Amino acid sequence: MQAFTQLNGLVVPLDRSNVDTDAIIPKQFLKSIKRSGFGPNAFDEWRYLDHGEPGMDNSKRKINPDFVLNQARYQGGSVLLARENFGCGSSREHAPWALEDYGFRAIIAPSFADIFFNNCFKNGMLPIVLSADDVDALFKETQSAEGYKLNIDLSTQTISTPSGKTYKFEVDAFRKHCLLNGLDDIGLTMQHQDAIKAFETKHRAAQPWLFN
C-alpha cells in the first residue's frame, strides 16, 4: 500500500449529500476482475452524457461540461470535498479504487458511510471528517478562489488553508500508523498468528459445531 504523509492538493468541490458508491462507480464496471483502471469511469453517469460500458474508449465519449470534474479549473485535483454521508450504499471497494485511480488521495466530508470509510484506508487514501460548518466554509473558499489548494499533514493531523487557517482532524491511531508507513494489514495481522491459533483452539472447544 502507498503511504500517506503529506499532501498539498487542488480541491474539487462535489456539492451533493449522500453520494453513493453506485454513483462513484456504476455497477457495469464491477464486472472487472482487476483492481486498477477504474479512474476514467469514476462518477461515470455524471461525468459523461452517454452510457458507459467497460472496454469503451473514454477519451471519445461526450463529457458533461456541467459536472465539476470536467471543469478546467479542477483538473488535476487530489482532494475531494464532499457533503454528508459520502460513500453510502454498497461495499464495493471499486469506489475507492476508482477515486484513487483518478488521482484523489484525500476526501473531506462531514460524515462518511462506514464501509467506504474503512475501504479508503486500505488503499492509501485519507478520509477526513470535519464539522458541517467547517466543510461549508471550505466549499465557499474553494468555489470562490480558482486553484484553491489545501495542505494536509497526517502526522500532525492538520489541514491548512492558503490563508493560513488550520483545522485539526481526528484519525484512529492504528489507521494513522498504517497509512503513514504504508503498512499492509495482512502482514500486521500475521504477527498475531499464535494468538489467532490459540483463540481458534479455545473457540473450537466451546462451540465445536462452528468447525464441522
Query: Which of the stretches 3-11, 69-77, 159-167, 188-196 binds other proteins when contact is defined by CB under 8 A?
Result: 188-196
Pick one of 7, 39, 45, 145: the residue that binds other proteins (CB under 8 A): 45
Under 8 Å between Cβ of 114 and 21: no
Residues 22-41 that bind other proteins (CB under 8 A): 22-23, 26-28, 30-35
Under 8 Å between Cβ of 11 and 79: yes
Pick one of 78, 111, 142, 161: the residue that binds other proteins (CB under 8 A): 111
Pick one of 6, 37, 54, 147: the residue that binds other proteins (CB under 8 A): 54
Cα 127 from Cα 116, distance rounded (Å): 9
Tell the smallest beta-carbon distance from residue 210 to other proteins (Å).
5
Q: Which residue number, 30 or 145, has a Cβ lying nearer to other proteins?
A: 30
Cβ burial of 183 (10 Å; 0-12, 13-18, 19+) is: middle
- Using CB under 8 A as the binding rule, whether residue 7 contacts other proteins is answered as no
Residues 112-171 that bind other proteins (CB under 8 A): 112-115, 118-119, 122-123
Pick one of 84, 143, 145, 180: the residue that binds other proteins (CB under 8 A): 84
Pick one of 3, 162, 185, 201: the residue that binds other proteins (CB under 8 A): 185
- Using CB under 8 A as the binding rule, whether residue 199 contacts other proteins is answered as yes
Catalog residues that contact other proteins under the rule CB under 8 A.
Answer: 16-18, 20, 22-23, 26-28, 30-35, 45, 51, 54-55, 83-85, 88-93, 96, 111-115, 118-119, 122-123, 172-174, 185-186, 189-190, 192, 195-196, 199-200, 203, 206-212
